A and B are shown apart, each in its own frame.
Chain A
Amino acid sequence: MALITFESVGLSYGGDNVAHDVSFSVQSGEFWGIIGENGSGKTTLMKALLGLIPCASGRIVLGDGLKPNEIGYLPQSSVIQKDFPASVDEVVLSGTIGWRGMKPFYGKKERALARKNMEMLGILPIAKKSYQELSGGQQQRVLLARALCATRKCLVLDEPTTGLDPVVTAEFYRLLNTVNQNGMTIIMVSHDVEEAVRSCTHILHLSCHPLYIGTAAEYKNSPIGRKYLKETAL
């Protein structure tokens, strides 16, 4: 069974229809890029997947034992207050909140997982530093570590590289590919078409309804893919 199946999902946002007839399925281990212009419904689709908003029609079915609160979420960094007093380890540990039940404090298991993820993403040396004093790239890694603490199966990323410089962006995609190769399914909403085509295994090109659903390799050679890549390259 597929990990996530969208069955003719329709979405509305503030009363307006933003997407309709979205049907596709995500298998374990795939890396999906959801691309499209502003207002194409890609962020709304992601919110519906996370359960933040309901589907107007159709449904999203989770398979392979994936529970709704077991999806790790990496929001756009801009949604987090710049002056929030929190250290890196406090932020990463808060990722475990969904699965550790009603325990009031973090136990050994949570700390070990947080440590493992911080080590993998190279932020262990700055674990005690304040989140607000980090660079954009470091902040994004912290949020990625938090998302990894929330899930063992599936990550959802919302424009993860907005505002990062090219070097840091490339580094971030390398990290994502490593995470993906370790078996993590990733669904990423992105503006960056070129990078999405390069890193993702599959592409969903959305413009209120799907224009393309399939592998990234085929997308590059499809008429719609060639057209869009050319337009965004300018």
Chain B
Amino acid sequence: MIASYFQNMPEIMTRAIVVGTLVSLCASLLGVTLVLKRYSMIGDGLSHVGFGALAIATVLHVGKASMAVSLPIVMLAAFMLMWLTEKRRMQGDAAIAVLSTGAIAVGTLLFRFSDNQYQDICNSLFGTASMALLSDTDMWITVGVSVAVIMLFILFYTRIFSVTFDTNFAKATGVHVGAYSMMLAALTAVTVVIGMKMVGAIMVSGLIIFPALSAMRVAKRFRSVMITSAALSLFCFFAGFFLSLLIEAQPGPAIIAVHVLSFLVCSFIGALKTRIRARKTRSIVVEPPCKAER
């Protein structure tokens, strides 16, 4: 397999890089809002639903267009989770736990009917061995929806900020907060489904949460957090992807591993920044009386 991989290098590389870039951008932009709204676990829950949805797609033998099946299922689950959380019909974290373990159980049972059970489960959980396995249909779906996600994000940027920062204020000034929550749920569902192909169901929430968390360690303005998050996500994708080629490993775990590393580096820089700032303010407070004594 590795041999054929290198034979078709140019086409595979372009495909992987285009998809990877778009997915990384989507995940990083969305991640900031999800983390700040304390919705990180929704992304995680949805990824498990995605695993179940992939199982359904496999059993239905729609292999080439698996996303056409998994997208609506995951989106439905996202709306349901958001509705349960907002209406407080059920505790959000409990709802997520129930939904995600249920989806894993049903999914694993369904994979029983696939011709290639273990390979399929492995691919769904940890990402395809190479992104060349992405079918044409899936690739175009990925490109289409990720461009849509990025566009929506840019168009609604100021409103998303307002709703995330202070929901009540946004509501009082006439923003349809409910509609934005649902949009956020839909965007998360989309990002989980397209990201899952790249890094697998288990790790896709890392793709969403890591860049946002790392960016928040070093940047303190909303816009710079967004930009840093996007930049970090792209960097980690490229570094992880080429690392995976170098050591002939799956790209998914390699990308997430680089994310972990970048989070550690950002945390260190953030701590250093805070310390320097603290020292600066302390010296400002202390200086005047010293001068007075002289």
Residues of chain A at the chain B interface (Cβ within 8 Å): 50-52, 68-69, 71, 73, 75, 79-81, 83-87, 90-91, 93-95, 97-99, 104-106, 128, 130, 132-133, 146, 150, 156
Contacts and interface: CB of A to CB of B under 8 A. Distances in A.
Contacts of B118: none
B175 A86 contact: no
A84 B154 CA distance: 20
Nearest to A130: B220
Interface residues of B, number: 28
A75 B220 contact: no
27 contacts: A51-B172, A52-B172, A73-B168, A73-B169, A75-B168, A79-B166, A79-B168, A80-B165, A80-B166, A84-B165, A85-B216, A85-B219, A85-B221, A85-B225, A87-B222, A90-B222, A90-B223, A94-B166, A94-B169, A97-B158, A97-B162, A97-B173, A98-B175, A104-B154, A104-B158, A132-B220, A133-B277
Contacts of A51: 171-172
A87 B170 contact: no
Contact of B36 (A52, A84, A95, A99): A84
B222 A104 contact: no
A91 B162 CA distance: 8
A86 B165 contact: yes
Contacts of A97: 158-159, 162, 170, 173, 175
A116 B13 CA distance: 52
B156 interface: yes
B156 to A, nearest CB: 7
Which of A90, A93, A150 counts the most chain B CB atoms within 10 A?
A90
> Chain B interface mostly helix, strand, loop or mixed?
helix
Most B CB within 10 A of own CB, among A73, A94, A98, A106 = A94
A84 B165 CA distance: 7
Nearest to A49: B172
A105 B162 CA distance: 12
Contacts of B223: 90
B172 A50 contact: yes
B169 A75 contact: yes
A133 B220 CA distance: 9
B140 interface: no
Contacts of A87: 220-222
B155 interface: yes
A166 B93 CA distance: 41
Contacts of A80: 165-166
A85 B222 contact: yes
Contacts of B216: 83, 85
Contacts of B157: 104-105
Contacts of B172: 50-52, 69, 71, 73, 156
B6 interface: no
Nearest to A86: B222
Interface in B219-238: 219-225
B174 A106 contact: no
Interface in B139-160: 154-159
Nearest to B157: A104
